[in-house]
Amino acid sequence: MRPSTLKRERLASEAPSVKPALLVSVHDVSPLTLEASRRMVDLAVSNGVPLNALTVLVIPRHEDRAPLDEHSSTRDWLHGLAEAGACLCLHGFTHRMSGQARSPWQWAWAQGFARGQGELYLSDAADCERRLEAARAIICRAGLGGDVHGFVPPAWLLSPAASGVVRQAGFAFHERLCGIFAGDVILAHRLIGFGSLSAFEARMTAAHAWLQSHRRPADTRLAIHPADVRRDDTVEAIRCTLRRLLPRLTPMNYMAFLRSHPAAASPS
């Protein structure tokens, strides 16, 4: 092997920036899930994800009954996470879907995949605008207005009308099932998520995580939910997935990832 080749390979293995990103997000954070959310953050941190490499998805009025601005413990905890460098995102307004599916295909996604939690999947533009406005008002009253950068719709689902509204809403990025949308590009297509509603779902999603984490390294989103703490096997699957991926990927939050990515529009 020629010396120049050796040098190039050594530089590539030494430079942390050449590793793809591991983008860990904690979903569904609200007053209703505070203790379980803390445990999921602790799980990620204790297994090697720095606090400032986490992306935290906040629901302003979870289930239409838990306003974040009126719950000081959740508010203070989120302030602390933001000060520590975590990236906060808006995660819908109530998280609950309203409206009726108009086709078997829509029903399958709404109830089968999202289980009635795809808040914006059936929204028209006016409904989506109203929810975003109400969500932002709560976030601002909670003193977190300057800390929320992106938008992740519940279950990653948006109706076509809601998609148009979210794109124009001034977020630095938003996320769908297929990746993170920033400007004209879609990044980090690979997604690992865990389900915990049944033993079957836990086993299937753990198997999917195992398969995904053995593929050639690529920018990878890893989504964990407070509900995952209810199942020991899911917690163990998350722990194993993190241990498998962290040596090969660089943990970073969504904003840091976009700032580091040449293809993304420069988010502020």
Closer residue to Zn ion in complex, CB, 38/259: 38
60 lies in the site for Zn ion, by CB under 5 A: no
> Which residue has tokens 């964990």?
224
If binding is defined by CB under 5 A, does position 69 make contact with Zn ion? no
Helix (H, G, I), strand (E, B) or coil at 59: coil
Tell me which stretch binds Zn ion (CB under 5 A): 20-28, 79-87, 100-108, 133-141.
20-28
Rounded CA separation 56/44 (Å): 12
User: Total binding residues for Zn ion by CB under 5 A?
Assistant: 3
The CB-of-268 to Zn ion minimum distance in angstroms stands at 26
Q: Which is nearer to Zn ion, 250 or 253 (CB)?
A: 253
- CB 213 within 8 Å of CB 221: no
Measured between alpha carbons, how far is 236 from 247 in angstroms, rounded to an integer? 18
34, with CB counted inside 10 A (0-12, 13-18, 19+), is middle
Q: Which is nearer to Zn ion, 90 or 249 (CB)?
A: 90
Closest CA to 55 of 147, 121, 118, 186: 147
Of 48 and 116, which has the nearer Cβ to Zn ion? 116
Shortest approach of Zn ion to residue 57 CB, angstroms?
6
CB of 92 to Zn ion, least distance (A): 7
To Zn ion, the closest distance from the beta carbon of 194 in angstroms equals 12
Interface with Zn ion, residue 28, by CB under 5 A: yes
Q: Where are the beta strands (DSSP E) in 101-183?
A: 148-151, 173-176, 179-182
Quick note: the x/- pattern for Zn ion over 129-158, rule CB under 5 A, is: -------------------------x----
Nearest to 179, CA basis, from 152, 216, 204, 206: 152
Output 231 or 261, the one with its CB closest to Zn ion.
231
CA separation (Å) from 206 to 173, 212, 224, 237?
28, 10, 12, 6
> Applying CB under 5 A, which part among 24-32, 71-79, 182-190, 230-238 lies near Zn ion?
24-32
- The pairing of strands 179-182 and 173-176 is antiparallel
Interface mask toward Zn ion for 180-209; x: CB under 5 A: ------------------------------
Residues that bind Zn ion (CB under 5 A): 27-28, 154
